[in-house]
Amino acid sequence: MELSLRKMIPVMLESGARVIAPDFFGFGRSDKPVEDSTYTFHFHREFLLRFVEHIAIRNITLVVQDWGGTLGLTLPVDPGFRSRLVRLFVMNTVLPVGKPLGPHFYEWRSLVRKMPDLPVGQLIRHITPQLTDQETAAYDAPFPDGRFKAGARRFPDLAMVEPGMEGVAEAEAALRFWREGWSGQSFMAMGAKAPDSETMHALRSQIRGCPEPLVVTEADHFVPEWGEPVARAALRSFGDL
């Protein structure tokens, strides 16, 4: 997670903010259990809730993208987290509630199932071709071999695309919160080339008071790789610049 946000963090720091960018277990510099079965929706979500509780941060601007959103957008269901939250900054993500997603998701899930030793850097670069060789290698660096890619392998199978899956109840409650209970500031950015743009517009309609999204013309799914102008636009929207 920290790697994808590296172009945004300096801008956020310039505004005087404190920036905390935790890696999920299985990614970055975090521990990487090698058993695929370790990684569940609640395993990741409980880590995030307990982490925030442990460091006792308040006045949170929640910044989410991809699985950071699928998990992070459910955090305000927890009253303790909700009391700490003041703003939302959301990029390309989805919050499934037990219903099918578009065909691109199933193509991605099928690909991951066929490639247990995922070429992580290569896949990211395919979607974000402006990455340098050094940046691509940085995406591969956390994974010495395929055993340590369990977290990456599992994410597609955790998406809540069928009724009764783990996380559906939390996602449904989260959508009710964002639609009916949210009163803070929101900012959305999305890549014009991303296959999930329709999903993002649908999500925006569920976030009370969320303005029209910033559409990054040249960006695909990984909007944080166009981070500096996106971060500045968000901070201007929030009144911090």
SS3 assignment, position 64: strand
- Rounded to whole angstroms, how far apart are CA atoms 94 and 223? 14
CATH of the domain at 82: 3.40.50.1820
pLDDT at position 2 is 54
* pLDDT tens-digit readout, 86-120: 999 999 999 999 999 999 999 999 999 999 999 99
Q: Which amino acid is at 240?
A: D
Count of structural domains within the chain = 1
Distance of CA 7 to the CA centre of its chain: 15
In a domain, 2, yes or no: no
> Rounded distance, CA 2 to CA 7, Å?
10
Please indicate whether residue 241 or residue 189 has the higher confidence score (pLDDT).
189
Q: Residue 197: what pLDDT?
A: 85
Mean of per-residue pLDDT scores for the chain: 95
Lowest mean pLDDT among 2-16, 41-55, 130-144, 180-194: 2-16
Is residue 185 assigned to a domain? yes
In a domain? residue 184: yes
Domain-located, residue 4: no
